Amino acid sequence: MKNQAKSQLATGAVAHLPTSDDLKNSIVRHLHGTLGTDINKASRQAWWSATCAAVNEYVFDGLRNTQRTHYEQNTRAVHYFSLEYLMGRLFSNNLHNLGAYDAAKQALAELGLNIADLEDQEEDMALGNGGLGRLAACFIDSMATLNYPAIGYGIHYEHGLFKQEFSDGRQIERPDSWREYGNPWEICRPESVQEISVYGYVETTYDLQGKMKKVWHPGRIIKGIPWDIPVVGYQGSSVNVLRLWESRASGFFNWDVFNSGGYIDASRENVEAETISKVLYPNDETDAGKELRLIQQYFFCSCSLKDIIRRYKRTYGDDWSQFGAQVAIQLNDTHPAIAIPELMRILVDRAEMGWDEAWNICQHVFAYTNHTLLPEALEKWSVRLFEKVLPRHLEIIYEINRRFLVEQVDVLWPGDNEKKRKLSIIEEGHEHMVRMGHLSVVGSFRVNGVAQIHSDLVKSDLFPEMVALWPDKFTNVTNGVTPRRWLKACNPRLSKLLDETVGVDWPRDLKQLKKLAAYADDAQIQDAFMAIKHQNKADLAQTVKELTGVSIDPHAMFDIQIKRLHEYKRQHLNLLHILALYRRILQNPDYDMVPRVFLFGAKAAPGYKLAKEIIYAINKVAEKINSDKRVKNRLKVVFMPNYRVTLAEKMIPAADVSEQISTAGKEASGTGNMKLALNGAITVGTLDGANIEIAEEVGADNISIFGLTVDEVKALHAKGYHSWDYYYADPEIKAILDWLETDYFTPGKPGELGAIKRSLLEGGDPYLVLADFRSYVDAHQKVDGWYRDKAGWAKKAILNTASVGKFTSDRSIEDYVERVWKLEACPVTAKP
Ligand code: GPW
C-alpha cells in the first residue's frame, strides 16, 4: 500500500501512474483482448506480452502528452544521430522509470506470477557494440528525465549484435533475432515513411539564365520506415522517442521490372534494399570500409534529416531562417558525418539556397563527439566508393574542402602545402580517401571528447591545427551513466540502503550519494553494505553455475573485467597476472593470497583474430586452474558467455574489484568503470580516460592505480620500446610466456596458446603489456592486502559509491546543454 501511495505522487507526462490494481485489471484485459488467451492457459510469453501492453497504456499516454507539449511550445530540440543504441531490456526499466515496479510486482504476484520470470522473457535490444552504443542509451534516458526535447535517430536492425557461444573455449557467433516474436515497445509509423536515393550519376545542367545546376540521377530508391520506441524519463517526467529506420524496397521502383516478367530481379532488388537494415556491423573501433556500411550510414542520416525538415516545415514552411535556432544535431562519432553533406545537398540542390547561406545553417546545426584516437577507428572512405554510392555528395565534399583550404587554411598559413595536405578532408595517397573526422570538425560548431584527458589529446594530438583555426570549437563533456538502470534497477538491495541513508532523491540527483560518506566508518552501515555485496555475489555465483557449470565461492574476492575484447583494453594483461598467481601457488603450495574469482565478459569482433585467441587462452587457462586441486580454491577463472547489458546488470552489483587496465591514452573514457565504482567496486586501473576523474573523486586511498601515464607512454615510444628486454629481465614474465607455449593448458597440442606471446615479443607489444606488468601485479598485491582488513575494505567500497555522483549521465547531458546545445528544458504536464 505504501508503494501505491508513493507512485501516485509522481507528476509529469504520465497523468496517472498505475496502482497494482490498475495493472492487474489491465493485464487480464490484455490477456483476453490483445493476446486472445485467458489466465488458465496463458504461456509465460503471453503473460509477459499482456503485462507490457498494460505498461504501454501509461507509456503511450506520456508519449502523447510529451509530443503535444513539444509541438505547442515549439521548442528547440536536439537530434541525437547514432548508428548504435545498446538498450538492453526495457521491461523493468520502463516500470522503474514509471515508478510502478513495485506495483507491477504486486499485481503479478496476485496473479500467481513472479516478475523476475517475466523479465527473463525479454530479449536484449542489442543494437550496438559496446560503450558508444550504451552511452547513447544512457543519454536518451537522461534527456527524457531532464525534460529536454530530444529525439534519438538510428537504424532498426533486424539482427543486433551476435550472440556468443563457446565451443571448446573458442568463440562462436550466432545470429541475434531479437524481434522474432515481436517487440512490444515499438510503434510502426508508416505515415512518416521517407525515400532516399543511392548510386547513379550527376548531370551538370544550365538554366535559362546560364546558371549551373547539378542534377543527381539516382540508381536506386529505397524506403525508410520509422519505428518509434518510447523513452520513459524517470518518474514519468517526459516520454521522448527513439526513432529507428527500417529499409524496404521502394515499391514503384520495382514495378516495371516486375511487370516485364522480371519477378526474380524485382525480388532481388527487394532483398538488396532490405539488406541495409538487416544487421549491425559487429566491429567495435575498427573501420571496415565496406559499401553496405556507408549505405547504412547514409540511409539513416538522410531519412532522419528529411524527418526533421518535414517537422520544421509544418511550422515554418519555406522560411529556413529559424532552422539553426530550432535544430541541433549531435553526431555520435563520425559514423553519421555524412549528414553534413546531405544537409548541404538538400539545401543547395533541393531548396535552391546559395552555398554560403546553406553552409551557415549547417554550421549552426551540427556538433560532433569524438570517441577515440585509435588510428584504425578513424573512419575513411575511398573516393572511388564514394563516387559510386554517393556521387553528388562527393562533389559537395570537394567543394566544402576547397573552400576550407582556401578560406581558412591558406589564410592562417599562406602557401603552406604541408598544412593543406595534413588538413585536407581528402587524404592523398595511392588511393584517395575521404577523412570523416576532418569533415566532422569542419562542418560542426562544436567538437567534444568524452573525458578530460581524451579531450585534451583530441586537441593536442589529433586536431592541433583545427584548434589553431577555431580554438573555441573544442570542448570536453565527460561521459556518464544512468543511475536508474545502473544502480536503482540492477541493485535493488543497495538502492534500498541508499534510500534509507541518503534519502530517495539520489536517482535524479546523484550527488546526494555524498551523504553516504559520513557513514563510511559506521560499523553498522559497513556490515549492511558488505552483506548486500555478499548477497549480490551469491546471486551471481548461482548464475555462473547455471551458465558455465563452475562453482564459485561468494566469500572470495570477485575481480571483474567486462568490456569488448581489444588489445588496447589488455584482457591479456589480466591473464598474465592470473598465470603469475597460479604459478606462485604451484611453486609454493602454501602461497598466501586472498581467494579470488576472476570473471570476464567480452565479445570479440568475428574477424579480430588475436582477440579471439585471447578468449581461447583465457578459457583454456580457466579450465586448467578450475580443475586443479592444488589450487585449493584460492583461484577461479570464469569467462561468462554472451556478455551483454542484461549480464552486466547481474555482474556489476557483485564486483569487488573493477579492472580498468587500458594502455594510457587509448581508452577515450570508459563507462563500465563508472558503473562498477557506483556499485561499490574498487578500481584497479591506469591513469586513462575517465579513470583519472574517478581517482580524483574517490581519492588515492580508494583506488589502486598502476602503470605508465600518457606522458610516460609517449616518452617510452619516443626512446624506443623493446618488449624483449622485459622478457629477459623479469624471470616471472619469461616463465609465464614460455608456459603459455607449452601444452600445459592444451594437452597434446603445444603452441595452441602461442599467439599472445608472439604478439608481445615478435609483434613488439604495441600496447605495452610487458612494460606495465610489474606495476600491475603490485597494484593487485595492494588490493589483496586491503581486502584482508574487512572494515577497511567496506570503507573503501562505501566511499566509492559515495564519491562518484559526478558520473551520472544527467550531468553529462547538462554539460552538453550548456556547452553545446543551448536548450531549454520543457516540462510536460498531462492533459487532465
Ligand atoms: F571508435 N567507443 C566504442 F570511437 O564503444 F567510434 N565504440 C566505438 O566504435 C568507438 C568508441 C569509436 C567507446 C570508447 O572506446 C570508450 O572509451 C567510450 O567510453 C565510449 O565509446 C563512449 O564514449
Q: Whose CA is nearest to atom 11 of ligand 1?
A: 371
Question: Averaged over 802-823, what is the pLDDT?
Answer: 98
Cα 454 to Cα 261, 372, 459, 460, 821: the distances in Å are 58, 8, 9, 10, 21
Sign of CA dihedral 580, 581, 586, 590: positive
What is the position in ligand 1's atom list of the atom closest to the CA of 374? Answer: 1
Catalytic pick among 70, 564, 577, 634: 564
Residue 7: the pLDDT is: 39
Catalytic pick among 663, 671, 801, 808: 671
Q: What is the pLDDT of residues 730-756, one digit of tens each?
A: 999 999 999 999 999 999 999 999 999
What is the position in ligand 1's atom list of the atom closest to the CA of 333? Answer: 6
Distance 801 CA to ligand 1 centre (A): 24
Residue 118: the pLDDT is: 98
The rounded percent of the chain whose pLDDT value lies above 90 is: 93
Could you give the residue ranges of the DSSP H alpha helices within 74-130?
91-98, 101-110, 115-119
Amino acid letter, 829: T
User: Is a pLDDT exceeding 70 seen at residue 6?
Assistant: no
Counting Cα atoms < 13 Å in the Cβ hemisphere of 478 gives 18
Active site (annotated) includes residue 671 = yes
Q: How confident is the model at residue 256 (pLDDT cuts 50, 70, 90)?
A: low
Using CA atoms, how far apart are residues 793 and 787, in angstroms rounded to an integer?
Answer: 6
Report strand pairing: 85-88 vs 170-174. unpaired
* CATH fold group of domain 489-705+772-807: Rossmann fold (3.40.50)
Distance 455 CA to ligand 1 centre (A): 13
Helix axes 731-741, 571-587, angle to 10 degrees: 100
pTM of the predicted model over 0.95: yes
Distance 284 CA to ligand 1 centre (A): 8
Angle at 669 (CA atoms; ends 444, 821), nearest 5 degrees: 30
* Matching residue, cell 547504412: 296
Distance 730 CA to ligand 1 centre (A): 34
- Is residue 485 within 8 A of residue 678, CB to CB? The reply is no
Amino acid letter, 277: S
Catalytic pick among 345, 371, 537, 650: 371
What is the position in ligand 1's atom list of the atom closest to the CA of 369? Answer: 23
Q: What is the pLDDT of residues 105-116, one digit of tens each?
A: 999 999 999 999
Coil, helix or strand at residue 638: strand
User: Is a pLDDT exceeding 80 seen at residue 263?
Assistant: no
User: Is a pLDDT exceeding 50 seen at residue 72?
Assistant: yes
Residue 455: the pLDDT is: 98
Question: Averaged over 522-530, what is the pLDDT?
Answer: 98
Active site (annotated) includes residue 432 = no
Q: What is the pLDDT of residues 382-402, one digit of tens each?
A: 999 999 999 999 999 999 999
Sign of CA dihedral 366, 372, 374, 376: negative
First to last CA, the chain: 25
Residue 288: the pLDDT is: 82
3-state helix, strand, coil in the chain (%, to 5): 55, 15, 30
Q: How confident is the model at residue 16 (pLDDT cuts 50, 70, 90)?
A: confident
Coil, helix or strand at residue 232: strand
Distance 668 CA to ligand 1 centre (A): 7
Q: How confident is the model at residue 260 (pLDDT cuts 50, 70, 90)?
A: low
Neighbouring CB atoms inside 10 A of 789's CB total 11
Q: How confident is the model at residue 11 (pLDDT cuts 50, 70, 90)?
A: low
Using CA atoms, how far apart are residues 787 and 71, in angstroms rounded to an integer?
Answer: 56
Active site (annotated) includes residue 564 = yes
Residue 252: the pLDDT is: 53
Distance 129 CA to ligand 1 centre (A): 9
Distance 458 CA to ligand 1 centre (A): 14
Using CA atoms, how far apart are residues 657 and 660, in angstroms rounded to an integer?
Answer: 10
Which residue from 138, 371, 448 has its CB within 8 A of the most atoms of ligand 1, so it is best to mutate?
371
Amino acid letter, 532: I
Q: Return the DSSP state at 350.
A: I
Nine-digit cell at 199? 548510386
User: Is a pLDDT exceeding 50 seen at residue 370?
Assistant: yes
DSSP string, 293-337: HHHHHHHHHHHHHHHHHHHHHHHHTT-GGGHHHHEEEEEESSTTT
Using CA atoms, how far apart are residues 281 and 283, in angstroms rounded to an integer?
Answer: 6
Using CA atoms, how far apart are residues 201 and 189, in angstroms rounded to an integer?
Answer: 32
- Is residue 538 within 8 A of residue 824, CB to CB? The reply is no
Choose among 207, 198, 205, 243: nearest CA to 225: 243
Distance 108 CA to ligand 1 centre (A): 39
Residue 829: the pLDDT is: 87
Using CA atoms, how far apart are residues 763 and 104, in angstroms rounded to an integer?
Answer: 56
Using CA atoms, how far apart are residues 54 and 113, in angstroms rounded to an integer?
Answer: 15
H or E segment and range at residue 201:
strand 201-206
- Is residue 807 within 8 A of residue 481, CB to CB? The reply is yes
Using CA atoms, how far apart are residues 310 and 318, in angstroms rounded to an integer?
Answer: 11
What is the position in ligand 1's atom list of the atom closest to the CA of 377? Answer: 1
Report strand pairing: 446-449 vs 366-369. parallel
Buried b (16+ CB within 10 A) or exposed e, 200-231: beeeeeeeeeeeeeeebebebbbbbbbbbbbb
Question: Averaged over 454-480, what is the pLDDT?
Answer: 98
Using CA atoms, how far apart are residues 105 and 115, in angstroms rounded to an integer?
Answer: 6
Which residue from 283, 285, 603, 812 has its CB within 8 A of the most atoms of ligand 1, so it is best to mutate?
285
Amino acid letter, 726: Y
- Is residue 250 within 8 A of residue 273, CB to CB? The reply is yes
The rounded percent of the chain whose pLDDT value lies above 70 is: 97
Q: Where are the domains of the chain?
A: 1-73+91-123, 74-89+124-479+815-821, 489-705+772-807
Distance 454 CA to ligand 1 centre (A): 11
Please tell me the CATH superfamily of domain 74-89+124-479+815-821, with its number. Answer: Glycogen Phosphorylase B; (3.40.50.2000)
User: Is a pLDDT exceeding 90 seen at residue 531?
Assistant: yes
Phi and psi angles of residue 319, each rounded to the nearest 5 degrees, phi first = -85, 105
Choose among 409, 508, 452: nearest CA to 146: 508
Q: What is the pLDDT of residues 553-580, one digit of tens each?
A: 999 999 999 999 999 999 999 999 999 9
Q: Return the DSSP state at 233.
A: P
Which residue from 85, 132, 478 has its CB within 8 A of the most atoms of ligand 1, so it is best to mutate?
132
Choose among 559, 772, 824, 808: nearest CA to 697: 808
Question: Averaged over 797-823, what is the pLDDT?
Answer: 98
Q: Return the DSSP state at 734.
A: H
Which residues have CB under 6 Å of ligand 1?
Answer: 129-132, 135, 284-285, 333, 371-372, 377, 450, 479, 667-671, 689
Using CA atoms, how far apart are residues 621 and 753, in angstroms rounded to an integer?
Answer: 10
Which residue from 372, 486, 693 has its CB within 8 A of the most atoms of ligand 1, so it is best to mutate?
372
Domains 74-89+124-479+815-821 and 489-705+772-807 share a fold: yes
Active site (annotated) includes residue 570 = no
Q: Return the DSSP state at 476.
A: E
Q: Whose CA is nearest to atom 3 of ligand 1?
A: 132
User: Is a pLDDT exceeding 70 seen at residue 254?
Assistant: no
Distance 603 CA to ligand 1 centre (A): 15
Distance 132 CA to ligand 1 centre (A): 5
**ipTM of model over 0.85:** yes
Report strand pairing: 201-206 vs 212-217. antiparallel
Choose among 121, 62, 90, 79: nearest CA to 186: 90
Question: Averaged over 334-352, what is the pLDDT?
Answer: 98
Q: How confident is the model at residue 722 (pLDDT cuts 50, 70, 90)?
A: very high
Catalytic pick among 96, 675, 780, 796: 675
The rounded mean pLDDT for the chain is 96
What is the position in ligand 1's atom list of the atom closest to the CA of 284? Answer: 9
What is the position in ligand 1's atom list of the atom closest to the CA of 370? Answer: 4
Q: Whose CA is nearest to atom 10 of ligand 1?
A: 285
Using CA atoms, how far apart are residues 458 and 449, in angstroms rounded to an integer?
Answer: 7
Amino acid letter, 83: L
Nine-digit cell at 574? 589480466
Report strand pairing: 704-705 vs 682-685. parallel
Amino acid letter, 467: V
Neighbouring CB atoms inside 10 A of 137's CB total 26
Choose among 30, 420, 89: nearest CA to 229: 89
What residues are paired with 249 via a beta bridge?
Answer: 222
SS3 per-residue string spanning 783-818: HHHHHHCHHHHHHHHHHHHHHCHHHEHHHHHHHHHH
User: Is a pLDDT exceeding 50 seen at residue 815?
Assistant: yes
Q: Whose CA is nearest to atom 9 of ligand 1?
A: 285
Coil, helix or strand at residue 138: helix
Active site (annotated) includes residue 380 = no
Could you give the residue ranges of the DSSP H alpha helices within 111-226?
115-119, 131-145
Phi and psi angles of residue 822, each rounded to the nearest 5 degrees, phi first = 55, 55
What is the C-alpha R_g of the chain?
A: 27
Active site (annotated) includes residue 603 = no
Catalytic pick among 30, 159, 163, 563: 563
What is the position in ligand 1's atom list of the atom closest to the CA of 690? Answer: 19
Phi and psi angles of residue 485, each rounded to the nearest 5 degrees, phi first = -75, -40
Chain mean position to CA 10: 30
H or E segment and range at residue 216:
strand 212-217
What is the position in ligand 1's atom list of the atom closest to the CA of 133? Answer: 5
